[in-house]
Structure 1
Amino acid sequence: MTTCPKPENLLEQLRAFEIFADVSDAALKWLIDNSTYHCLEKNEYFVRSDEPVHHMQVVLTGGYVIRRESKGRKREMGVWEAPMVAGLLPFSRMTTSAAEGVTTAPTSLLQLHKDHFTEMVNQSYPLTQALVGVMTNRVRDFQQMQLMDEKLMALGKMSAGLAHELNNPASAMIRSAQELHRHLQQTPERIKALFKMRVSDSDVDKMNDVLFERIAAKQLKPGEDLSLIEREELIDELQDWCEDHDIKDCEEIVDTLIDWGFESEHLDLLAKIVTGPSLQAVLWWLEASLTTESLVDEIQTASTRISELVTSIKTYSHMDSDPSMEFIDVHEGLISTLTMLKFKFKKDKSIGFRKEWDRTLPFIKALPGELNQVWTNLIVNALDALEGQEGAQLTIRTYKQRENLCIDIEDNGPGIPADIQSRVFEPFFTTKGIGEGTGMGLDIVRRVLERHSGSIGMESEPGRTCFRVCFPL
């Protein structure tokens, strides 16, 4: 900043300022006489961050851009052009500059030291009043800028969180749709075998009764999962039954039958209706119908979850219109989430699942869609930790602890290193590779639970990691 001789037309230049419209010529001459005149080139600093501020600046020509550092990066807060007043103002409590100013063009200004502010009040009340008005407008403008900045940051977090949350159901829909397409391509060959059968209408009704009875039973008890040992025993039982009845490639249909609660007694009912090659065709028809039902159900569950997420994000962006919570059974949300994540268990069949659920627990008041986000993030994190591990086990436990309803999501994976355990709930903190995780999952969990007056704790060591969610009853 260079000190230059004062031009003769300074009074005319000050008269161009709207804020000085009611200020007398004598007061403006006093301002000129007690100020120094400075010239700056383009891209020259006239103020730096954290620099002490002692002067008021009346910018006559040119202008400058204000930049502020945030998290290691400089952001432009706006461009100010002449004619304008900047720097320290009367009655302002500013002591240091919170940002840096760099000229955008050759600039000239008058600079008045703060030691003259008391004299200014005595010299001209209208001049002082005009400058206090500038300070008031400046505070309002910076508050609006800060509010907008906070809104943009919230929008960024919300967008990252929504992208993170939509990924699971969208991926589930794509996989289920692809599997359904592949499955339907096989159907014509199996239908040919059905066409060759000669079955009466009453026998068709009996077979449909067996099918619909199993579908209805599954819908009534969607969460009745078998333990790993129970499932293996039932697989052996059904494979033995298929061998006894000369059914080929039975391993391709046994898993589907077990998923829908079939036991050997249900297959005996079918064997009484049809025999020989026709029994093989009926079982393939049964498997095709049930698989189609499963895939459509998974697509419906995933699409419902996307709808819930969109509703949740609308709720998040309109915090003043509080949605009505409802009393829910936490187990229903867990079941829905496990259904949506079923593909992960199929992908890595080495992962065992154990549930220790107390179905007598009371309902809690909550937003079901938001709690589903909690279960999805915690279960996906646990499954990722278990991927490829021999003897992997996921355990979900529900119980009452004092006056709290608690849910444990526990895995026997390698654990979380002690030096980063304190950071796992930080937004954007992730140990996953680029493109594999946003670091938003546990931050979303924390914020959702705060909204529900719930809490989350974590215990982790090699061989056991447990996230515990609790709701006050």
Structure 2
Amino acid sequence: MTDILQALQEVPELSQVPKEQLQWLLDHSELLTYEAGALLFKSGEIPQNMFIILGGRIRIWFEQLGKAREIGSLEKGDISGMLPYSRLKMTKGNGLVMDQALVLATNKELFPEMIRTQYDLVEALVHSMANRIRNFTTLQVQNEKLLSLGKLSAGLAHELNNPSSAVVRVAKDLHQHLSYLPENFKRVIAIRLENEQVDRVNERLQERIQQGVSSLSLLQRKRLEENMEEWLEDHEVSLSDDALEVLIDYGFTEDDLDFILDHVNTREFTPVMNWVGNVLTTEKYVKEIKDASQRISDLVTSIKSYSHMDQDQDRHKVDIREGIHSTRRMLDHKFRRAKVDFETEFTEPFPKIHANPGQLNQVWTNLLDNALDALEPTGGIITFKGKQDGACLYVEIVDNGPGVPEEVQNLIFDPFFTTKEMGKGTGLGLDVVRRIVLSHKGDIKLESRPGRTVFTLSFPLQ
């Protein structure tokens, strides 16, 4: 027993407990050996013992929707089971022995005597219970945050990849296009035009640049291309394929060709129009780079707005609509993938509330993400509604998905409860939402039936 007593002294939570009190614990407990595959405790049973793990490893898991969900493990030096002053009524998980385990079990019937006579031991065990709750909750909340961050990061990587790839591709095309300029320059300087002729050509060119690239259907583009080729053939002039393509992009028609031909002679028409094509090609590439760069800039702005990187994290007056819209932009990729529309209905006047905007964005993220997961197979609509009623601001998040099954609606805000597949959720998303709302002195309720799910949040204005 001397070795066991020494092992108890090496348990971190019991290291400051007097030796005689540890001896009392050892004298009033049972030393048990569990083989791999045995259950130390079982979900749904009434806890009877405190367990101190002196060797081996125990996996803690519970079953949900027919699947095993691991929530932690016990190893040498860990304390589990029923503890003094614990309000645990029923074991919520299973303790599966993975490696042969040596366990010191103390029946809870001894707790009253322990409380009366072994003060230091009880104090250490109470601290152990508090630490266990705090550490376990912190770990799971962190897992939930990491899961949410992973989803956002994957979406942002996808969103940033498209415009950044476009910048690289178009920059390469622009570089190749500009490499032809020295040769084209020879043709340009050979053109003999009066200033007035140049002004007329530039006038029409700038009109088309201001108009921008035309939105043409395939049929419209094909018809315009045929008309332009027919015009060129009738007037016995030619254009490069690249020049003709970009002219069509910018909406040039036979009327534009007639206009330019009226101001330059036939001999100068082809080099002039090829020069126009070169200008439009450069303009098109620059515009594409500008648009892609602006998309990247908008995403960075949305990230800053969502995370409030340039603001302090203290509570202050905020317009929650800004956070809702920035969160919507952060999840834009998922809305498109799920084919879900987003609508808002905010009734004026819409007051600000005293809140932490970063925490509220966690609320909007979790609620939107859950609604998107529910709607993803078939698409649908998510609507944010908001209005002031008396001394409170009410926000409703409505979706037309399949709804939350009635038998689990009372469990939806419980920690670790989830209806998602394994690996898609920790079961803490709505628990985090509830705790954030309550920390703002607000409330959250769920109403759900097939075709309509509504989360109603209320926040005090003062």
Interval containing the TM-score (normalised by the shorter chain): 0.5 to 0.7
**TM-score computed with the length of structure 2 as normaliser:** 0.61
- Structure 2 partner of 1:198: 192
Amino acid at match of 2:105: Q
Residue 121 of structure 1 is matched in structure 2 by 115
Match of residue 289 from structure 1: 279
- What whole-Å deviation, never above 9, does each CA across 1:86-131 have from its counterpart, x for those lacking one? 2221232332152535466x65332112232233334434433332
Tell me the CA shift for residue 318 of structure 1.
4.7
Partner letter of residue 118 of structure 1?
A: P
What displacement does 1:154 show? 0.9
> Which residue matches 1:33?
27
Partner of 1:151: 145
Deviations 1:323-382 (A, max 9, x none): 99999xxxxxxxxxxxxxxxxxxxxxxxxxxxxxxxxxxxx998589659749964x888
Q: Where does 1:31-110 land on structure 2 (aligned, <5 Å)?
A: 31-40=25-34, 45=38, 47=40, 50=43, 52=45, 53-59=47-53, 61-64=54-57, 66-68=59-61, 77=72, 80-82=75-77, 84-94=78-88, 95-102=90-97, 107-110=101-104
SS of match in other structure, 2:237: coil
Shift of 1:217: 4.0
* Structure 1 segment 403-418 matched on structure 2, within 5 A: none
Query: Compared with structure 1, are the counterparts of its residues 428 and 150 closer, same or farther at alpha carbon in structure 2 (3 Å cutoff)?
Result: farther
Distance 2:120 2:163 in 1: 65
Which deviations, in whole Å up to 9, do the C-alpha atoms of 1:278-331 show, x marking residues without a partner?
20111111112112211221122112212322333344445968999999xxxx
Q: Distance in 1 between matches of 2:262 and 2:159?
A: 49
Q: CA-to-partner distance for each residue in 1:218-266, whole Å, 9 max, x for gaps? A: 3xxx8x7467776666555544443343232577544532432434443
Q: CA deviation at 1:199?
A: 2.9
For structure 2, list consecutive stretches of 5 or more residues without a partner in the other structure: 349-369, 387-394, 402-462
In structure 2, distance between residues paired with 1:251 and 1:369: 45
- What pairs with 1:109-188 in structure 2 (closer than 5 Å)? 109-181=103-175, 183-184=177-178
**8 A contact 1:57–1:86 mirrored in 2:** yes
Matching of residue 216 in structure 1 with residue 197 in structure 2:
no
- What is the rounded CA distance, in whole Å, between the counterparts of 1:139 and 1:184 in structure 2? 66
Shift of 1:426: 1.7
What is the distance in 1 between the residues matched to 2:110 and 2:134? 26
Paired AA for residue 233 in structure 2 = E
* 2:437 match: none
**Partner SS for 2:140:** helix
Distance 1:370 1:144 in 2: 27
Partner of 2:249: 259
Partners of 1:150 and 1:376 in 2: CA distance: 18
The answer to whether the Cα contact below 8 Å between 2:59 and 2:96 also exists between their aligned partners in 1 is: yes
- Following superposition, the deviation at residue 153 of structure 1 comes to 0.7
**Alignment of 1:426 onto 2:373:** yes
- Cα separation, partners in 2 of 1:300 and 1:254, compared to 1, 3 Å: same
Q: 1:304 to 1:184 in 2, by over 3 A?
A: same
Q: CA deviation at 1:50?
A: 2.3
2:260 aligned with 1:270, yes or no? yes
Code of the aligned partner of 2:273: L
Q: Indicate if the aligned counterparts of 1:120 and 1:128 stay in contact, CA closer than 8 A.
A: yes
Residue 373 of structure 2 aligns to a residue in which SS? coil
Is the alpha carbon distance of 1:288 and 1:120 closer, same or farther for their aligned partners in structure 2, counting shifts above 3 Å? same
Residues 34 and 97, structure 2, Cα contact 8 Å, conserved in 1: no
The answer on whether the counterparts of 1:424 and 1:430 sit within 8 Å (CA) in structure 2 is no
Q: Tell me the distance in 1 between the aligned counterparts of 2:317 and 2:298.
A: 13
Match of 1:246 among 236, 240, 263: 236
The verdict on how the C-alpha distance between 1:170 and 1:15 changes in structure 2, with shifts beyond 3 A counting, is closer
Cα distance change of structure 1 residues 248 and 457 upon mapping to structure 2, 3 Å threshold: farther
One-letter code aligned to 1:426:
D
Q: How many residues align?
A: 362
CA distance in 1, matches of 2:193, 2:327: 47
Task: Give per-residue Cα distances to partners, 1:11-61, cap 9 Å, x unaligned.
Answer: 5554555655675666444423321112356x56563662634211233x4
Tell me how far 1:81 sits from its aligned partner. 2.8
What CA distance in whole angstroms lies between the structure 2 residues aligned with 1:158 and 1:233? 44
How many Å separate the matches in 2 of 1:161 and 1:171?
Answer: 15
Deviation at residue 159 of structure 1 after TM alignment: 1.8
Distance verdict in 2 for CA 1:91–1:81, change over 3 Å: same
What's the TM-score once normalised by structure 1's chain length?
A: 0.59
Q: Percent identity?
A: 31
Q: Is the 8 A contact 1:325 1:366 kept in 2?
A: no
By how many angstroms is 1:78 displaced? Answer: 5.5
Q: Equivalences for 1:311-390 in 2 at 5 Å? A: 311-318=301-308, 371=329, 374=332, 378=336
Cα contact 2:345–2:384 (8 A) shared by 1: no
